[in-house]
Amino acid sequence: MPWWRARRDALLALAADRSPRYVYDLATVRQRARDLRAAVPADRVLYAVKANDHPDVLRAVVDEGLDLECVSVYEIEHVLEAVPGFPAERVLYTPNFAARAEVARALELGVHATVDNAALLDDWAALWAGREITVRVDPGVGKGHHDHVKTAGDASKFGVSPADLPALAEAARRHGARVVGLHAHTGSGYDDLGVWAENARLLGRLARAHFPEARHVNVGGGIPAPTGAAPPYDLEAAGAALGAARADHPDLAVWIEPGRFLVAEAGVLLARVTQVKRKGAVRYVGLDAGMNSLLRPALYGAHHDVVNLSRLGAPPAGPAEIVGPICESSDVLARARPFPETQEGDVVLIDTAGAYGFVMASRYNRRPPAEEVAL
Protein backbone atom coordinates (compact mmCIF):
# COMPACT_ATOMS: atom_id res chain seq x y z
CA MET A 1 0.00 0.00 0.00
CA PRO A 2 1.49 3.40 -0.91
CA TRP A 3 2.34 5.56 2.11
CA TRP A 4 -0.08 8.32 1.15
CA ARG A 5 -3.20 6.21 1.70
CA ALA A 6 -2.61 6.30 5.45
CA ARG A 7 -1.93 10.06 5.30
CA ARG A 8 -4.99 11.11 3.31
CA ASP A 9 -6.36 13.57 5.87
CA ALA A 10 -3.00 15.27 6.32
CA LEU A 11 -2.56 15.52 2.55
CA LEU A 12 -6.04 17.01 2.05
CA ALA A 13 -5.20 19.61 4.70
CA LEU A 14 -1.89 20.41 2.99
CA ALA A 15 -3.67 20.87 -0.35
CA ALA A 16 -6.36 23.04 1.25
CA ASP A 17 -3.62 25.24 2.63
CA ARG A 18 -1.76 25.62 -0.69
CA SER A 19 -1.92 24.07 -4.13
CA PRO A 20 -0.28 22.68 -6.19
CA ARG A 21 2.20 21.03 -3.88
CA TYR A 22 4.80 18.28 -3.96
CA VAL A 23 4.78 16.27 -0.72
CA TYR A 24 7.69 13.98 0.19
CA ASP A 25 7.58 11.18 2.73
CA LEU A 26 11.10 10.96 4.15
CA ALA A 27 10.40 7.59 5.82
CA THR A 28 9.89 6.10 2.35
CA VAL A 29 13.18 7.60 1.13
CA ARG A 30 14.97 6.01 4.08
CA GLN A 31 13.25 2.66 3.52
CA ARG A 32 14.33 2.57 -0.13
CA ALA A 33 17.92 3.34 0.90
CA ARG A 34 17.79 0.37 3.29
CA ASP A 35 16.20 -1.88 0.64
CA LEU A 36 19.07 -1.06 -1.71
CA ARG A 37 21.77 -1.74 0.82
CA ALA A 38 20.13 -5.04 1.79
CA ALA A 39 19.72 -6.32 -1.77
CA VAL A 40 22.72 -4.98 -3.65
CA PRO A 41 26.34 -5.89 -2.90
CA ALA A 42 27.81 -2.43 -3.59
CA ASP A 43 30.70 -0.92 -1.66
CA ARG A 44 29.39 2.54 -2.20
CA VAL A 45 25.91 3.88 -2.95
CA LEU A 46 25.82 7.41 -4.35
CA TYR A 47 22.47 9.14 -4.57
CA ALA A 48 22.03 10.90 -7.93
CA VAL A 49 21.00 14.28 -6.58
CA LYS A 50 19.43 15.51 -9.81
CA ALA A 51 16.39 13.27 -9.21
CA ASN A 52 15.30 15.34 -6.17
CA ASP A 53 17.51 17.83 -4.39
CA HIS A 54 15.20 18.94 -1.58
CA PRO A 55 17.43 19.61 1.47
CA ASP A 56 15.45 17.24 3.73
CA VAL A 57 15.72 14.47 1.14
CA LEU A 58 19.49 15.01 0.89
CA ARG A 59 19.86 14.92 4.67
CA ALA A 60 17.78 11.72 4.86
CA VAL A 61 19.89 9.82 2.31
CA VAL A 62 23.14 11.03 3.85
CA ASP A 63 21.85 9.98 7.25
CA GLU A 64 21.30 6.50 5.76
CA GLY A 65 25.00 6.40 4.88
CA LEU A 66 24.79 7.23 1.19
CA ASP A 67 27.20 9.46 -0.70
CA LEU A 68 26.09 11.98 -3.33
CA GLU A 69 26.50 12.19 -7.09
CA CYS A 70 26.20 15.63 -8.71
CA VAL A 71 26.10 16.57 -12.38
CA SER A 72 26.81 20.28 -12.05
CA VAL A 73 28.79 22.62 -9.84
CA TYR A 74 25.49 24.19 -8.87
CA GLU A 75 24.31 20.88 -7.45
CA ILE A 76 27.61 20.54 -5.59
CA GLU A 77 27.27 23.98 -4.02
CA HIS A 78 23.66 23.21 -3.14
CA VAL A 79 24.41 19.90 -1.40
CA LEU A 80 27.34 21.33 0.56
CA GLU A 81 25.02 24.03 1.84
CA ALA A 82 22.03 21.74 2.45
CA VAL A 83 24.01 19.12 4.39
CA PRO A 84 26.29 21.08 6.73
CA GLY A 85 29.61 19.36 7.34
CA PHE A 86 29.19 16.92 4.46
CA PRO A 87 32.73 16.31 3.15
CA ALA A 88 33.26 17.25 -0.50
CA GLU A 89 35.32 14.05 -0.94
CA ARG A 90 32.05 12.13 -0.65
CA VAL A 91 30.66 13.93 -3.70
CA LEU A 92 31.13 12.38 -7.11
CA TYR A 93 30.98 14.93 -9.91
CA THR A 94 29.81 13.78 -13.35
CA PRO A 95 29.86 16.84 -15.61
CA ASN A 96 28.88 16.72 -19.25
CA PHE A 97 29.99 19.49 -21.62
CA ALA A 98 30.37 21.83 -18.65
CA ALA A 99 32.45 24.99 -19.11
CA ARG A 100 36.06 24.94 -17.93
CA ALA A 101 35.42 27.51 -15.19
CA GLU A 102 32.64 25.34 -13.73
CA VAL A 103 34.80 22.23 -13.66
CA ALA A 104 37.63 24.22 -12.10
CA ARG A 105 35.31 25.53 -9.39
CA ALA A 106 34.05 22.02 -8.63
CA LEU A 107 37.57 20.59 -8.38
CA GLU A 108 38.53 23.49 -6.12
CA LEU A 109 35.77 22.40 -3.74
CA GLY A 110 37.45 18.99 -3.44
CA VAL A 111 35.05 16.61 -5.24
CA HIS A 112 36.08 13.52 -7.24
CA ALA A 113 35.39 14.05 -10.94
CA THR A 114 34.48 11.83 -13.86
CA VAL A 115 36.01 12.63 -17.25
CA ASP A 116 34.50 11.42 -20.50
CA ASN A 117 36.93 12.32 -23.25
CA ALA A 118 40.66 12.45 -23.91
CA ALA A 119 40.58 15.90 -25.51
CA LEU A 120 39.42 17.30 -22.18
CA LEU A 121 42.59 16.01 -20.53
CA ASP A 122 44.78 17.63 -23.20
CA ASP A 123 42.87 20.90 -23.49
CA TRP A 124 42.54 21.52 -19.76
CA ALA A 125 45.77 19.82 -18.71
CA ALA A 126 46.44 22.16 -15.78
CA LEU A 127 43.16 21.13 -14.14
CA TRP A 128 44.03 17.45 -13.99
CA ALA A 129 47.70 17.36 -13.03
CA GLY A 130 48.16 15.25 -9.91
CA ARG A 131 44.45 14.40 -9.62
CA GLU A 132 42.67 11.09 -9.30
CA ILE A 133 39.84 10.76 -11.82
CA THR A 134 37.20 8.29 -12.95
CA VAL A 135 36.58 7.74 -16.65
CA ARG A 136 33.06 7.48 -18.04
CA VAL A 137 32.79 4.72 -20.64
CA ASP A 138 30.07 4.39 -23.23
CA PRO A 139 29.36 0.64 -23.35
CA GLY A 140 27.80 1.14 -26.78
CA VAL A 141 24.23 0.05 -26.09
CA GLY A 142 21.63 2.46 -24.77
CA LYS A 143 18.88 1.32 -22.43
CA GLY A 144 15.95 3.30 -21.12
CA HIS A 145 12.23 3.82 -20.90
CA HIS A 146 12.39 6.43 -23.68
CA ASP A 147 14.98 7.44 -26.33
CA HIS A 148 15.66 10.67 -24.44
CA VAL A 149 16.87 8.84 -21.33
CA LYS A 150 19.21 6.45 -23.12
CA THR A 151 22.73 7.50 -22.31
CA ALA A 152 24.86 5.20 -24.43
CA GLY A 153 25.41 4.44 -28.10
CA ASP A 154 26.87 6.69 -30.82
CA ALA A 155 23.81 8.94 -30.81
CA SER A 156 24.35 9.71 -27.11
CA LYS A 157 26.60 12.58 -26.03
CA PHE A 158 27.91 10.74 -22.96
CA GLY A 159 31.08 8.79 -22.39
CA VAL A 160 34.17 7.61 -24.26
CA SER A 161 34.10 4.56 -26.55
CA PRO A 162 36.08 1.55 -25.32
CA ALA A 163 38.16 1.81 -28.51
CA ASP A 164 39.36 5.29 -27.45
CA LEU A 165 40.49 4.24 -23.97
CA PRO A 166 44.16 3.56 -24.86
CA ALA A 167 44.47 7.16 -26.14
CA LEU A 168 42.78 8.44 -23.03
CA ALA A 169 45.08 6.41 -20.78
CA GLU A 170 48.01 7.92 -22.65
CA ALA A 171 46.66 11.47 -22.25
CA ALA A 172 46.11 10.89 -18.53
CA ARG A 173 49.73 9.72 -18.13
CA ARG A 174 50.98 12.70 -20.11
CA HIS A 175 49.26 15.14 -17.78
CA GLY A 176 49.80 13.35 -14.49
CA ALA A 177 46.16 12.37 -13.87
CA ARG A 178 45.59 8.96 -12.26
CA VAL A 179 42.61 6.97 -13.48
CA VAL A 180 41.37 5.21 -10.33
CA GLY A 181 37.99 4.07 -11.61
CA LEU A 182 35.71 3.45 -14.58
CA HIS A 183 32.07 4.42 -14.84
CA ALA A 184 29.09 3.56 -17.02
CA HIS A 185 25.49 4.71 -16.68
CA THR A 186 23.42 3.34 -19.50
CA GLY A 187 20.02 4.83 -19.04
CA SER A 188 17.05 5.20 -16.77
CA GLY A 189 14.08 3.05 -15.98
CA TYR A 190 15.15 -0.02 -17.93
CA ASP A 191 13.80 -3.33 -16.79
CA ASP A 192 16.85 -5.40 -17.68
CA LEU A 193 18.10 -6.97 -14.46
CA GLY A 194 21.52 -7.67 -15.91
CA VAL A 195 22.73 -4.18 -16.78
CA TRP A 196 24.64 -3.58 -13.56
CA ALA A 197 26.26 -6.99 -13.93
CA GLU A 198 27.09 -6.38 -17.60
CA ASN A 199 28.60 -3.01 -16.76
CA ALA A 200 30.64 -4.53 -13.93
CA ARG A 201 32.10 -7.20 -16.23
CA LEU A 202 32.85 -4.79 -19.07
CA LEU A 203 34.34 -2.09 -16.84
CA GLY A 204 36.37 -4.68 -14.93
CA ARG A 205 37.84 -6.00 -18.15
CA LEU A 206 38.62 -2.51 -19.49
CA ALA A 207 40.13 -1.45 -16.17
CA ARG A 208 42.51 -4.40 -16.16
CA ALA A 209 43.41 -3.85 -19.81
CA HIS A 210 44.14 -0.12 -19.68
CA PHE A 211 44.18 1.28 -16.14
CA PRO A 212 46.45 -0.58 -13.70
CA GLU A 213 45.70 1.98 -10.97
CA ALA A 214 41.92 1.43 -11.11
CA ARG A 215 40.35 0.54 -7.77
CA HIS A 216 36.63 0.83 -8.49
CA VAL A 217 33.96 0.41 -11.12
CA ASN A 218 30.81 2.54 -10.98
CA VAL A 219 28.00 0.63 -12.69
CA GLY A 220 25.51 3.52 -12.72
CA GLY A 221 21.89 3.97 -11.68
CA GLY A 222 18.74 3.53 -13.70
CA ILE A 223 16.59 1.30 -11.47
CA PRO A 224 12.95 1.92 -12.31
CA ALA A 225 10.43 2.91 -9.68
CA PRO A 226 7.19 0.98 -9.56
CA THR A 227 4.29 2.60 -11.39
CA GLY A 228 0.82 1.33 -12.16
CA ALA A 229 2.02 0.61 -15.70
CA ALA A 230 4.88 -1.76 -14.90
CA PRO A 231 5.56 -4.84 -12.78
CA PRO A 232 7.84 -4.24 -9.78
CA TYR A 233 11.56 -4.40 -10.42
CA ASP A 234 13.33 -7.43 -8.97
CA LEU A 235 16.03 -5.68 -6.97
CA GLU A 236 17.17 -8.93 -5.34
CA ALA A 237 17.81 -10.55 -8.72
CA ALA A 238 19.71 -7.50 -9.99
CA GLY A 239 21.78 -7.50 -6.79
CA ALA A 240 22.54 -11.21 -7.08
CA ALA A 241 23.62 -10.81 -10.71
CA LEU A 242 25.92 -7.96 -9.72
CA GLY A 243 27.34 -10.08 -6.91
CA ALA A 244 28.19 -12.87 -9.35
CA ALA A 245 29.73 -10.42 -11.84
CA ARG A 246 31.96 -8.69 -9.33
CA ALA A 247 33.55 -11.99 -8.39
CA ASP A 248 35.49 -11.80 -11.70
CA HIS A 249 37.44 -8.81 -10.35
CA PRO A 250 37.42 -9.11 -6.57
CA ASP A 251 40.05 -6.38 -6.24
CA LEU A 252 37.73 -3.72 -7.72
CA ALA A 253 35.22 -1.99 -5.47
CA VAL A 254 31.72 -1.57 -6.94
CA TRP A 255 29.77 1.68 -6.79
CA ILE A 256 26.17 2.27 -7.81
CA GLU A 257 24.46 5.65 -8.26
CA PRO A 258 20.67 5.38 -8.24
CA GLY A 259 18.40 8.41 -8.27
CA ARG A 260 14.81 7.61 -9.19
CA PHE A 261 14.54 4.42 -7.12
CA LEU A 262 15.28 6.25 -3.87
CA VAL A 263 12.78 9.08 -4.24
CA ALA A 264 10.10 8.38 -6.87
CA GLU A 265 7.60 6.64 -4.60
CA ALA A 266 8.29 9.02 -1.72
CA GLY A 267 6.77 11.95 -3.61
CA VAL A 268 3.26 12.85 -4.67
CA LEU A 269 2.01 15.93 -6.45
CA LEU A 270 -1.21 17.37 -5.01
CA ALA A 271 -3.32 19.60 -7.22
CA ARG A 272 -6.80 21.03 -7.14
CA VAL A 273 -9.38 20.72 -9.85
CA THR A 274 -9.91 24.02 -11.64
CA GLN A 275 -12.60 23.05 -14.17
CA VAL A 276 -14.27 19.99 -15.59
CA LYS A 277 -15.38 20.17 -19.20
CA ARG A 278 -16.87 17.86 -21.76
CA LYS A 279 -15.98 18.16 -25.41
CA GLY A 280 -17.91 15.73 -27.55
CA ALA A 281 -17.43 12.36 -25.90
CA VAL A 282 -14.35 13.39 -23.95
CA ARG A 283 -14.24 14.51 -20.32
CA TYR A 284 -11.39 16.83 -19.36
CA VAL A 285 -10.43 17.27 -15.72
CA GLY A 286 -8.35 20.44 -15.38
CA LEU A 287 -5.83 20.89 -12.56
CA ASP A 288 -3.89 23.81 -11.15
CA ALA A 289 -0.72 21.74 -11.77
CA GLY A 290 0.46 21.33 -15.33
CA MET A 291 3.58 20.49 -17.26
CA ASN A 292 5.34 23.42 -15.60
CA SER A 293 5.08 21.48 -12.32
CA LEU A 294 5.50 17.94 -13.68
CA LEU A 295 7.12 17.69 -17.10
CA ARG A 296 7.64 13.93 -17.37
CA PRO A 297 4.34 12.99 -19.07
CA ALA A 298 4.86 15.66 -21.75
CA LEU A 299 8.61 15.06 -22.12
CA TYR A 300 8.79 11.26 -21.96
CA GLY A 301 5.18 10.07 -22.13
CA ALA A 302 5.78 8.92 -18.54
CA HIS A 303 2.98 7.16 -16.68
CA HIS A 304 1.79 8.42 -13.30
CA ASP A 305 -1.17 6.97 -11.46
CA VAL A 306 -3.69 9.71 -10.71
CA VAL A 307 -6.48 9.56 -8.11
CA ASN A 308 -9.16 11.91 -6.88
CA LEU A 309 -8.02 12.09 -3.25
CA SER A 310 -11.16 13.93 -2.14
CA ARG A 311 -13.27 11.02 -3.43
CA LEU A 312 -10.93 8.12 -2.85
CA GLY A 313 -12.81 4.87 -3.42
CA ALA A 314 -15.67 6.48 -5.38
CA PRO A 315 -16.64 4.39 -8.43
CA PRO A 316 -15.24 5.45 -11.82
CA ALA A 317 -17.63 7.45 -13.99
CA GLY A 318 -15.86 6.76 -17.29
CA PRO A 319 -12.46 7.86 -18.58
CA ALA A 320 -10.97 11.34 -18.19
CA GLU A 321 -8.10 13.32 -19.64
CA ILE A 322 -6.22 14.86 -16.71
CA VAL A 323 -4.84 18.16 -17.97
CA GLY A 324 -3.04 21.25 -16.70
CA PRO A 325 -3.59 24.99 -17.24
CA ILE A 326 -0.61 25.58 -19.57
CA CYS A 327 -1.12 26.75 -23.15
CA GLU A 328 0.37 23.69 -24.86
CA SER A 329 -1.52 20.73 -26.25
CA SER A 330 1.05 18.45 -24.61
CA ASP A 331 -0.02 19.71 -21.17
CA VAL A 332 -1.68 16.38 -20.36
CA LEU A 333 -0.70 14.56 -17.16
CA ALA A 334 -2.67 11.38 -17.86
CA ARG A 335 -4.85 10.14 -20.69
CA ALA A 336 -8.05 8.09 -20.72
CA ARG A 337 -7.97 7.24 -17.01
CA PRO A 338 -10.97 5.76 -15.24
CA PHE A 339 -11.99 8.61 -12.96
CA PRO A 340 -14.88 9.24 -10.58
CA GLU A 341 -17.41 12.04 -10.87
CA THR A 342 -15.23 15.08 -10.15
CA GLN A 343 -15.88 18.70 -9.25
CA GLU A 344 -14.07 22.00 -9.06
CA GLY A 345 -11.99 22.17 -5.87
CA ASP A 346 -11.43 18.40 -5.52
CA VAL A 347 -7.89 17.42 -4.56
CA VAL A 348 -6.15 15.16 -7.07
CA LEU A 349 -3.03 13.14 -6.26
CA ILE A 350 -0.41 12.29 -8.88
CA ASP A 351 1.59 9.34 -7.66
CA THR A 352 5.33 8.44 -7.85
CA ALA A 353 6.23 12.04 -8.53
CA GLY A 354 9.21 12.27 -6.18
CA ALA A 355 11.86 11.80 -8.90
CA TYR A 356 12.45 14.25 -11.75
CA GLY A 357 9.40 16.23 -10.71
CA PHE A 358 10.06 19.52 -8.98
CA VAL A 359 13.68 19.58 -10.24
CA MET A 360 12.37 19.95 -13.81
CA ALA A 361 9.71 22.53 -12.96
CA SER A 362 9.60 25.86 -14.78
CA ARG A 363 7.78 29.17 -14.78
CA TYR A 364 6.43 28.69 -18.27
CA ASN A 365 3.38 30.88 -18.88
CA ARG A 366 4.66 32.83 -15.85
CA ARG A 367 2.86 30.25 -13.77
CA PRO A 368 4.55 29.43 -10.46
CA PRO A 369 5.20 25.66 -10.25
CA ALA A 370 4.15 23.48 -7.32
CA GLU A 371 6.02 24.12 -4.09
CA GLU A 372 7.65 21.38 -2.02
CA VAL A 373 7.00 20.16 1.49
CA ALA A 374 8.65 17.23 3.28
CA LEU A 375 6.93 15.14 5.96
Ligand X SMILES: *Cc1c(COP(=O)(O)O)cnc(C)c1O
- The catalytic residues are 327
Taking the complex as a whole, the smallest distance from the CB of residue 100 to ligand X amounts, in Å, to: 20
Whichever of 258 and 286 has its CB closer to ligand X, that residue is: 258
Whichever of 69 and 346 has its CB closer to ligand X, that residue is: 69
Contacting ligand X (CB under 6 A), which of 181, 222, 286, 324? 222
Segment near ligand X (CB under 6 A); pick from 6-14, 54-62, 257-265, 326-334 = 257-265
Counting residues that bind ligand X (by CB under 6 A) gives 17
- Interface mask (CB under 6 A) for ligand X, residues 259-278, using x and -? xxx-----------------
Whichever of 20 and 221 has its CB closer to ligand X, that residue is: 221
Segment near ligand X (CB under 6 A); pick from 34-42, 208-216, 258-266, 318-326 = 258-266
Segment near ligand X (CB under 6 A); pick from 47-55, 60-68, 282-290, 334-342 = 47-55
200, with CB counted inside 10 A (0-12, 13-18, 19+), is buried
Taking the complex as a whole, the smallest distance from the CB of residue 124 to ligand X amounts, in Å, to: 20
Taking the complex as a whole, the smallest distance from the CB of residue 311 to ligand X amounts, in Å, to: 33
Contacting ligand X (CB under 6 A), which of 64, 75, 198, 257? 257
Non-local CB neighbours of 91 within 8 Å, separated by 6+ positions: 67, 68, 69, 70, 76, 79, 80, 109, 111, 112
Crossing angle of helices 26-39 and 235-246, rounded to 10°: 40
Non-local CB neighbours of 144 within 8 Å, separated by 6+ positions: 150, 151, 186, 187, 188, 189, 190, 222
Whichever of 64 and 331 has its CB closer to ligand X, that residue is: 64
- Interface mask (CB under 6 A) for ligand X, residues 328-357, using x and -? ------------------------------
Taking the complex as a whole, the smallest distance from the CB of residue 275 to ligand X amounts, in Å, to: 34
Contact between 48 and ligand X (CB under 6 A)?
yes
Whichever of 59 and 185 has its CB closer to ligand X, that residue is: 185
Non-local CB neighbours of 312 within 8 Å, separated by 6+ positions: 5, 8
Taking the complex as a whole, the smallest distance from the CB of residue 90 to ligand X amounts, in Å, to: 16
Taking the complex as a whole, the smallest distance from the CB of residue 342 to ligand X amounts, in Å, to: 32
Contact between 49 and ligand X (CB under 6 A)?
no
Pairing relationship of beta strands 316-323 and 282-287 according to DSSP bridges: parallel
Q: Is 269 left (phi over 0), alpha (psi -120 to 50) or beta?
A: beta
Taking the complex as a whole, the smallest distance from the CB of residue 120 to ligand X amounts, in Å, to: 16
Contact between 71 and ligand X (CB under 6 A)?
yes
Segment near ligand X (CB under 6 A); pick from 2-10, 215-223, 270-278, 298-306 = 215-223
Residues that bind ligand X (CB under 6 A): 48, 50-51, 69, 71, 94, 185, 188, 220-223, 257-261
